[in-house]
Amino acid sequence: MTQAPAAPRNTRRRHDREIVSLAVPAFGALVAEPLFVMADSAIVGHLGTPQLAGLGIAAALLTTAVSVFVFLAYATTAAVARRVGAGDLPAAIRQGMDGVWLALLLGAGVIAVVLPAAPWLIHLFGASDTAAPYAVTYLRVSSLGIPAMLVVLAATGILRGLQDTRTPLYVAIGGFTLNAALNVGLVYGAGLGIAGSAWGTVTAQFAMAAVYLRVVVRGARRHGASLRPDAAGIRASAQAGVPLLVRTLSLRAVLMIATAVAARLGDADIAAHQIILSLWSLLAFALDAIAIAGQAIIGRYLGAEDTEGARQACRRMVEWGIAAGVVLGLLVAVARPLFIPLFTGDDTVRDAPLPALLVVALSQPVSGIVFVLDGVLMGAGDGPYLAWAMLLTLACFAPVALLVPAFGGGLTALWWAMALMMSVRMLTLWLRARSGRWLVTGATR
């Protein structure tokens, strides 16, 4: 990071209040999202094993499809926050609406691909003959909700850019509650089976999108912002999203390589790897909440042309990231013997993750820095650098991870490779933050 004098205590406290007010609701909303799949799994699981297997495959495909477009939230947050900092709320909302229109276009394109290709996609994932029909049914029905899911991402970015993370939390809680109620009613009450679960989720997703759009439209009318699609604005949103798409795909490639390597280590190791990965993802939600606060705060400071405020906010958020990483690491180290039995009673699987979980615990402070600086640079609109940095990280990680089985390494060695990956990310992000080249001010980058 660029060197800056230590901020006065009252300034640090102001930053702390901002970070907490944005990060805590953001964490709640992030945790609420996986609950959709968990609720569906709990309800469909009672229909039978083939239905649950079909749901698992279809849900994995849907999650991948939507996560690829997470840039709709990230890029929109940064762009809207900059205009908020510049004091131009009408332009901020117009910028956000360009992201919403882009989300609708992308959603329509995904539906056009998934509906006819659903059987092929399910077959590609190796679904059994008994599970495949259920997977195809769930995937085809649920794909109809993808435009709503992408609108939710873009609208969430608008509200985060407007420094509002509470509304997304309330919408996520409401959506989860509606989803669970509809699933029970349609699966069992109406007797629709797995299709009822899919229709319940689609309905809840469109309800969430409608609430978001109502909030955004009301804000647009209040500030006299246009809601009509603007080709140039939509094109600009897409261009801003491309580097973040590359970043996201590179990160997904890292996780896929890690899972593939774990699968080559044996059944016990891949089972243990999935347990560790689930915990790692939960820890990532906590750290990502600070990153989301960083996107909103940094974008606002740079829009207001306050580089000193951006530096101080960055420094304070890094301190928060390190502190959160230390606390989470200690919790993992202490609770790891208690965590594993929640997932398995197999002694072989239960013992395998313990040393690897210690590696996860030790790497949490590094993860804290990575997530925060990732959010800071996103808030600054520094997407091209993030793309190249993640590609470099992938290039460093892939050969090391792939050599783990060749050299007789086990699951712990694989997670040391994951720790190396996070360390490379930290180095690339820290060098960029230190250079100050991300400090580009103005309503647009």
**Per residue in 140-194, pLDDT tens?**
999 999 999 999 999 999 999 999 999 999 999 999 899 989 989 998 888 898 9
Q: How far is CA 106 from CA 43, 142, 241, 415, 444, in A?
A: 30, 16, 12, 35, 24
Q: What is the pLDDT of residues 54-91, one digit of tens each?
A: 887 888 788 878 888 989 999 999 999 999 999 999 99
More confident residue, 315 or 445: 315
30-39: pLDDT as tens digits: 876 666 666 7
Average pLDDT, the chain: 88
H-state helical runs in 185-306: 194-223, 231-265, 267-303
Residues 6+ apart with CB under 8 A from 164: none
Query: What angle, 0 to 180 degrees and rounded to 10, lies between the N-to-C axes of helices 267-303 and 411-435?
Result: 10
How is 90-117 classified by DSSP, letter by letter?
HHHHHHHHHHHHHHHHHHHHHHHHHHHH
Nearest CA to 377 out of 288, 336, 306, 438 is that of 438
Residue found under tokens 């997703």: 205
- For 119-136, how does the pLDDT look when each residue is reduced to its tens digit (9 = 90+)? 998 887 777 788 889 989
Tell me the chain's radius of gyration from C-alpha atoms: 22
Cα angle 69, 72, 73 (rounded to 5 degrees) comes to: 115
How many angstroms separate the CA atoms of 254 and 390, rounded?
10
Asked if 429 and 290 count as a contact pair (C-beta separation under 8 A), the reply is no
CB under 8 A, 24+ apart: contacts of 41-45: 43/180, 43/183, 43/184, 43/187, 43/188, 43/197, 44/187, 44/194, 44/197
- CA dist., res. 79 & res. 92, Å (int): 7
pLDDT digits (tens, 9 = 90+) for 205-248: 999 999 999 999 999 999 988 889 889 889 989 998 999 999 99
- pLDDT value of residue 98: 94
Contact criterion met (CB below 8 Å) for 26 and 293: yes
Contact (CB, 8 A) for 6 and 443: no
Distances (CA, A) of 192 to 45, 47, 137, 199: 14, 11, 11, 9
